[in-house]
Structure 1
């Protein structure tokens, strides 16, 4: 009982510590990215905390299995370094018993990962996508900064002033560079500009009033000018990051129904959501034998190779998931990867016993 509580406590504490560290490191890069978007006027500062909160479950469902894997390596690696494993082995405690000691902790962590994979991550992705769509469909100019040039897609926008309710721009200059090389660049100048969302078409427009429209080419004197009292054009005012794959934002019940209807994208997502909880226990089975080190070698000797093996596991799962998305392979491809690494884990767990039995067999054969 003492050993069980000790191992469970050490494993849980180490897993939590590594999870916090990896989350801080990985989310730090995303925080910097979002702050950069906010500084450029591409993201409302008030949405930063909500965006980070909605993206957090997607990170945790990947971080927690890796943290558990590393925690097993470090916890049992220290036992080998301190020769405690040798003492416990001499006392009749096998590696399989050690696995039984930590099984409740592994089960709890696996259930937590499953809750992220099947509920929290899809919910967060859905809210994340909804948040950006709401921002894109706003009828205000929240992201426009007066007296600053701002690139919006293929356009460059400048406004001298912004109304207090952020619904109208004054003294607007808009330069549009068409992606089609056969079309001339357009220069627009207007006294005011308003923005509105057309619910029927689902498009966002900007309406310019009392201005001029110029068509011109750099280096040429000739140009055409058109005066207008009202000029409407479609304009995407937000340049946020690409939308999340819609399949990732659907709840698990919808994904299950869609994959039953032979939707390959839904099938790939369904397999991925099952893979995340399964990676954790298989990773523990891999980590337990890989944690064995010689006291003279140090506890970190096998850490890098073990992590690379774990990463290869996740990468193969992701690669097979992408092929399932494109209907290039069936769902058995994903299960084959799980089975292959599970068998590899069993081989590593029983390797010492198999080697001892082989040596006994050779000694008996030569006697």
Structure 2
């Protein structure tokens, strides 16, 4: 019991450090990407911190399995490096006991990963999609800054409004539109943004104004005085939108029979299975020689994680494209890594060896230990 608690404490302490490092890396990356999106005008500045929050919730689904995998690997590798496993094996503590300790730690984290993959990550994705769709719909109006020239369509349209008492109400406004071979200017004291309730299209309606058509520097122009004149905006009023597959609740994915939705459901379940399989693979993988060092298997572990993730992505795309049946789906990837775990674990346990030790003596002890036992 004391040894098991010691192993669990070592794993949790290492997990805290690894998770913090990975989370800070992801946080800084998301911050830079979000700031770039704000600078390019793809999202509103007011939504910046919410976007980072929701993005990091999504990232936790992938961070947790990797952090747990590396934490178990590093914690157990330290025991081998410091020769503590030799002492533990003398007390009958071997890979099977370590595996039980790892499964105890995984008990709580599996439920956390399931909650993230099945509930929280889709919810965060839907919140981001909602905000982005809303921003796209309102960006034409929100980007109008009173007292400044507001450029749109790569300089093809320039709007100026002296004042905006309320959203959608403009004072002393003019609009210049470049039509290629000619240009038009609309000007009036008042203008309003009007939404077509049927199509959702939005217009700037100039009231009691003038329109000038012609070319700069030419006397050939046309003058029109109007009562109301509407100019179509690119955006549409925000009414409703279809959720992306990443944003759909898991319950709706189960009720849908399309290949895309079935592939997405299997992807979410796969995150939970991947966390479990990587954690147990770390037990036999962590075995190192004292001189090999604590980080001797890090490169192999990262390659395993990348390979596992990429194979899942490939398998998901195959299901979405109908290359493989949903019954085969993503499960073959998990079967492949389960086989890898069994091969590594059986080899570490020595069940296929021809040594005199029985299978419950789970570590290959130094030769000095064999001589002592024989005596």
Q: For residue 363 of structure 1, what is the aligned residue in structure 2?
A: none
In structure 2, C-alpha distance between the alignment counterparts of 1:20 and 1:186, rounded to whole Å? 57
* Deviation at residue 33 of structure 1 after TM alignment: 2.6
Q: Deviations over 1:267-314 (max 9, x none)?
A: 011101110111101001222222222222221122022111111101
Q: Deviations over 1:97-121 (max 9, x none)?
A: 1010121211211110100111111
Q: Secondary structure at the match of 1:248?
A: coil
Pairing partner for 2:266 from 265, 268, 271: 271
Q: Do residues 281 (structure 1) and 282 (structure 2) align?
A: no
8 Å Cα contact 2:259-2:321 kept in structure 1: yes
Correspondence 1:346 to 2:349: no
CA distance in 2, matches of 1:54, 1:213: 48
- The structural deviation recorded for 1:3 is 2.0
* Matching of residues 190-201 of structure 1 within 5 Å: 190-191=187-188, 193-201=191-199
Structure 2 segments unaligned to the other structure (5+ residues): 357-375
Structure 1 CA distance, aligned partners of 2:282 and 2:242?
33
Task: Give matches, 1:96-245, under 5 Å.
Answer: 96-138=96-138, 141-146=141-146, 147-152=148-153, 156-169=157-170, 170-175=172-177, 189-191=186-188, 193-208=191-206, 210-212=209-211, 227=224, 229-236=228-235
Secondary structure of residue in 2 paired with 1:145:
coil
Tell me the matched-pair count: 346
State the distance in 1 between where 2:223 and 2:262 align. Answer: 54
Over the residues paired in the alignment, what is the CA RMSD in angstroms? 3.3
Q: 1:96 deviation in Å?
A: 1.4
Query: 2-side partners of 1:174 and 1:109: how far apart?
Result: 59
Match of 1:321 among 316, 323, 329: 316
Distance 1:14 1:352, change over 3 A: closer
Gaps of 5+ in 1: 178-182, 361-367
Match in the other structure for 2:246: 248
Q: CA shift at 1:359, angstroms? A: 6.9
Task: Say if 2:60 is the partner of 1:55.
Answer: no
Tell me by how many angstroms 1:14 deviates: 2.7
CA deviation after TM superposition for structure 1 residue 10, in Å: 2.6
Distance 1:283 1:222 in 2: 76
Residue 352 and residue 203 in structure 1: after superposition, are their counterparts in 2 closer, same or farther (change >3 A)? same
CA distance in 2, matches of 1:208, 1:321: 52
Tell me if the contact between 1:195 and 1:207 (Cα under 8 Å) persists in the aligned partners: yes
Structure 1 counterpart of 2:15: 15
CA distance in 2, matches of 1:226, 1:265: 56
Contact 2:57/2:120, CA 8 A, preserved across alignment? yes
CA contact (8 A) 2:212 2:223 kept: yes
**8 Å contact from structure 1 (residues 172, 193) kept in 2:** no
How far residue 358 of structure 1 moved from its aligned partner, in angstroms, is: 5.3
SS in structure 1 of the partner of residue 141 of structure 2: coil
Check whether the contact 1:140–1:166 (CA below 8 A) recurs between aligned residues.
no
* SS in structure 1 at match of 2:341: helix
Q: TM-score by structure 2 length?
A: 0.80
In the TM superposition, what are the counterparts of 1:322-337 in structure 2 within 5 Å? 322-331=317-326, 332-337=328-333
How many angstroms apart in 1 are the aligned matches of 2:305 and 2:351?
A: 24
Aligned-partner SS, 1:234? strand
Could you tell me whether the CA contact under 8 Å between 1:285 and 1:349 is conserved in 2? no
- TM superposition shift of 1:153: 7.3
> Contact 1:214–1:225 (CA<8 Å) still a contact in 2?
yes
Pair 338,184 (structure 1): closer, same or farther in 2 beyond 3 Å: farther
Are the aligned partners of 1:61 and 1:113 in contact in 2 as well (CA < 8 Å)? yes
Please, which moves more after superposition, 7-16 or 112-121?
7-16
The separation in 1 between residues aligned to 2:77 and 2:234, in whole angstroms, is: 58
